[in-house]
């Protein structure tokens, strides 16, 4: 099988580092933000790495491409005015800087904290609010918490109003912003409770004959599906070349699918809280934060795991074992029909293939789940858990922007906004996107009883037309069709994007986060394919003033009718925290589906094993 899109291995990462150190002309202070598979398409037949570096001594960011076959640096440039992502090593470095800083230690003592080693300091991106330091320095803004006594919750006791401000490039603290002492909340106790209930019996999932999927490296075949599991340091889990077998043909659907950006804007304007706008993909990176998954805990059943290689800031490869989990799940009834007069019931069982990864990003934990169903449906779901950002309640009581979730602890209103990117190839690369709306017809001679429904399908011809919002009143969804391939009824074959529960951003479009995350104001964007357009807020959102990504690209208003198109779907989970989210939030869900819509000539699961004999036998025994 073709493994050209497989994630980089440790030897390739080391080779990329060697080439950069040898040929890029960087000084000794430079470190590696990203070393991932090159997906530019500019070097067909050659496997390579996209590399991004930051040089602290000059406060410059560089990126380019290393080709493995000829051990060469094919591209290299200074990305002027841009800041690389904040990598995990910088988080650890900044935390230690604060713990050793006498001004910070004194601020802790004023709050009754004598042991800085028990204090967590997270160096979040400062964003961009027009301050000179945000243009000239690599600035991060610290947020602080005191570990609980049990040592299993570093966010247990928020330290309000205390914010060390870092120049990460110079590895120094610029100042300590202290807006006044607020009492530290009491210890909430351990997350790992000593008393656990014992009335739940084990659920065992077995497949005596083994799983139905086949794996060759990172290539997967299951039921009628084929796909390739991929990985990027920034995106995390990526899926390539998603296709489905149909009556002897392998029919492509998507060339690449990923969760391309995630931004979490918070709604508290007081003190330094207005800076809490995390671009978890573009400012920090999902891939480096993937968990190593464990059987019976994160995944249940007959599991196949995929390992991936990431790296630290010196470019040293780091293995994440079991980073991606894959298994089958029974999913109830696929279809059923009964003829009571004849005593006849026909039932088929559904199952789905689950490909998932889980990332721990500071206080939150996100599971990214991709479901492949037997009828050609693709489900996409985010499962969010972890700890809602906790803040200490000030003397005046709970703020109007938050809700009390624990003893003297509140958490503020916020949203989790996800942008999913789909490089479409529905039976080929020339596709068109349309919008479906439904509305009641006016009463009149053709609608005497007022029950008629008008169906409207609008075909998008240019990018400016394809910036749309969800509308449940019109049962709105979107279709991707191939005008050059017809089904047996003479219609273009198609798939529909069916939104799930969704919301709208509440931040003003001209706010700092509104300018930087302009993509979040539309639930659908359609763009003409460009391999360099991978991220909806642009390649470098860290400290960026805004306007990059989808708003800038679509200003060209390129043609998208019967072209190679990319579909972007925005999912907004609105979160008003509740006491039940503390000390750890139960999983909440956000997602959507792609469903065959005229792609097949009939129900593609009519050949599934029918269960009428088994059901009849069990009924007789009863």
pLDDT in tens, 525-567: 999 999 999 999 999 999 999 999 999 999 999 999 999 999 9
Q: What is the mean pLDDT of residues 590-600?
A: 98
Of 241, 268, 280, 561, the catalytic one is 280
Say yes or no to pLDDT of 619 above 90. Answer: no
How much is the pLDDT for 396? Answer: 87
Is the separation of the CB atoms in 338 and 345 below 8 Å? yes
How much is the pLDDT for 402? Answer: 96
* Length in residues, the chain: 622
Residue-by-residue DSSP string for 222-247? ETTEEEEEEEETTTEEEEEEEEEEET
Tokens for 612? 């009428």
Q: What are phi and psi of 444, to 5 degrees?
A: 165, -165
Q: Tell me how far apart the alpha carbons of residues 404 and 422 are, in angstroms, rounded to a whole number.
A: 39
How much is the pLDDT for 518? Answer: 98
Q: What is the mean pLDDT of residues 86-111?
A: 98
Say yes or no to pLDDT of 501 above 60. Answer: yes
Q: Is the pTM of this model over 0.85?
A: yes
Q: Give how far Cα 206 sits from Cα of 300, 326, 469, Å.
A: 10, 15, 43
Tokens for 241? 């070349």
Is the separation of the CB atoms in 55 and 170 below 8 Å? no
At 98, is the pLDDT very low, low, confident or very high (cuts 50, 70, 90)?
A: very high
User: How confident is the model over 430-452, as pLDDT tens digits?
Assistant: 999 999 999 999 999 999 999 99
At 593, is the pLDDT very low, low, confident or very high (cuts 50, 70, 90)?
A: very high
Of 218, 266, 364, 371, the catalytic one is 364
From the list 131, 138, 119, the residue with the least C-alpha distance to 31 is 138
From the list 500, 260, 491, the residue with the least C-alpha distance to 377 is 500
Q: Tell me how far apart the alpha carbons of residues 32 and 309 are, in angstroms, rounded to a whole number.
A: 14
Q: Tell me how far apart the alpha carbons of residues 364 and 276 are, in angstroms, rounded to a whole number.
A: 14
Residue 106's SS3 state is helix
Number of neighbours of residue 11 by Cβ within 10 angstroms: 11
For the question of residue 280 being annotated catalytic, the response is yes
Say yes or no to pLDDT of 617 above 50. Answer: no
User: Which domains can be identified in the chain, with CATH numbers?
Assistant: 10-78 (3.10.450.40), 88-178 (3.10.450.40), 214-387+414-575+584-596 (2.70.98.20)
From the list 151, 145, 102, 101, the residue with the least C-alpha distance to 121 is 145
Say yes or no to pLDDT of 585 above 90. Answer: yes
Say yes or no to pLDDT of 502 above 80. Answer: yes
At 35, is the pLDDT very low, low, confident or very high (cuts 50, 70, 90)?
A: very high
At 612, is the pLDDT very low, low, confident or very high (cuts 50, 70, 90)?
A: low
User: How confident is the model over 104-161, as pLDDT tens digits?
Assistant: 999 999 999 999 999 999 999 999 999 999 989 999 999 999 999 999 999 999 999 9
Q: What is the mean pLDDT of residues 498-511?
A: 97
Residue 433's SS3 state is strand
For the question of residue 115 being annotated catalytic, the response is no
**Mean pLDDT score across all residues of the chain:** 96
User: How confident is the model over 294-312, as pLDDT tens digits?
Assistant: 988 899 999 999 999 999 9
From the list 244, 616, 269, the residue with the least C-alpha distance to 426 is 244
Residue 380's SS3 state is strand
Separation of first and last alpha carbons in the chain: 49
Q: Tell me how far apart the alpha carbons of residues 441 and 445 are, in angstroms, rounded to a whole number.
A: 11
How much is the pLDDT for 295? Answer: 87
Which residues are CB-contacts of 98 (< 8 A; sequence separation ≥ 6)? 104, 116, 119, 121, 142, 144, 164, 166, 173
Residue-by-residue DSSP string for 164-231? EEEETTTTEEEEEEE----PPPPP---SS-S-----PPP-----TT--S-EEETTEEEETTEEEEEEE
How much is the pLDDT for 370? Answer: 98
């Amino acid at each position: 099988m073709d493994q050209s899109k497989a994630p980089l291995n440790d030897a390739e990462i080391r080779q990329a580092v060697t080439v950069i150190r040898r040929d890029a002309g960087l000084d000794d202070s430079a470190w590696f933000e990203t070393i991932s598979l090159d997906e530019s398409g500019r070097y067909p037949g050659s496997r390579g790495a996209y590399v991004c570096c930051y040089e602290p001594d000059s406060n410059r960011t560089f990126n380019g491409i290393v080709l493995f076959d000829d051990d060469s640096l094919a591209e290299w440039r200074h990305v002027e005015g841009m800041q690389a992502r904040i990598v995990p090593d910088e988080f650890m470095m900044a935390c230690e800087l604060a713990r050793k800083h006498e001004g910070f230690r004194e601020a802790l003592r004023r709050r009754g904290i004598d042991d800085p080693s028990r204090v967590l300091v997270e160096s979040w991106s400062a964003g961009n609010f027009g301050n000179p330091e945000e243009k000239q320095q690599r600035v991060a803004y610290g947020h602080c918490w005191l570990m609980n006594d049990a040592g299993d919750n570093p966010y247990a006791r928020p330290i309000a109003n205390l914010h060390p401000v870092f120049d990460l490039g110079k590895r120094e603290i610029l100042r300590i912003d202290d807006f006044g002492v607020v009492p530290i909340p009491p210890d909430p106790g351990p997350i790992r409770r000593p008393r656990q209930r014992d009335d739940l019996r084990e659920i065992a999932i077995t497949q005596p004959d083994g799983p139905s999927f086949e794996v060759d490296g990172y290539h997967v075949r299951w039921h009628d599906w084929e796909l390739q599991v991929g990985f990027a340091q920034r995106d995390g889990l990526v899926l390539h070349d998603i296709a489905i077998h149909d009556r002897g043909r392998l029919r492509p659907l998507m060339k690449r699918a990923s969760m391309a950006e995630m931004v979490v804007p918070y709604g508290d304007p007081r003190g330094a809280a207005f800076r809490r706008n995390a671009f978890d993909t573009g400012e920090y990176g999902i891939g480096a934060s993937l968990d190593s998954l464990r059987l019976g805990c994160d995944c249940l059943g007959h599991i196949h795991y995929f390992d991936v290689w990431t790296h630290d800031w010196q470019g040293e490869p780091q293995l994440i074992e079991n980073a991606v989990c894959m298994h089958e799940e029974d999913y109830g009834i696929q279809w059923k029909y009964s003829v009571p007069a004849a005593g006849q019931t026909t039932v088929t069982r559904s199952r789905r293939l689950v490909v998932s990864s889980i990332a721990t990003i500071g206080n939150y934990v996100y599971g990214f789940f991709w479901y492949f169903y037997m009828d050609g449906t693709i489900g996409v779901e985010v499962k969010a858990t972890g700890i809602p950002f906790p803040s200490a309640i000030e003397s005046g009581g709970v703020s109007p922007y938050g809700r009390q979730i624990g003893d003297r602890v509140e958490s503020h209103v916020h949203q989790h906004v996800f942008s999913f990117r789909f490089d479409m190839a529905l039976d080929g690369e020339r596709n068109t996107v349309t919008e479906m709306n439904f509305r009641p017809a006016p009463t009149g001679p053709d609608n005497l009883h007022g029950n008629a429904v008008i169906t409207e399908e609008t075909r998008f011809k240019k990018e400016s037309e394809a910036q749309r919002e969800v509308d449940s009143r019109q049962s709105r969804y979107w279709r991707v069709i191939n005008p050059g391939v017809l089904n047996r009824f003479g219609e273009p074959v198609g798939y529909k994007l069916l939104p799930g529960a969704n919301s709208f951003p509440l931040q003003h479009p001209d706010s700092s986060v509104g300018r930087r995350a302009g993509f979040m104001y539309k639930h659908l964007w359609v763009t003409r394919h460009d391999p360099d357009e991978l991220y909806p807020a642009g390649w470098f959102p860290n400290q960026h003033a805004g306007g990059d990504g989808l708003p800038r690209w679509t200003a060209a208003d390129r043609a998208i009718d019967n072209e190679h198109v990319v579909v972007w779907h925005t999912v907004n989970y609105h979160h008003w925290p509740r006491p039940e989210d503390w000390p750890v939030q139960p999983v909440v869900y956000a997602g959507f589906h792609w469903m065959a819509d005229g792609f097949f000539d009939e129900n593609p699961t009519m050949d599934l094993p029918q269960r009428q004999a088994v059901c009849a036998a069990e009924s007789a025994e009863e």
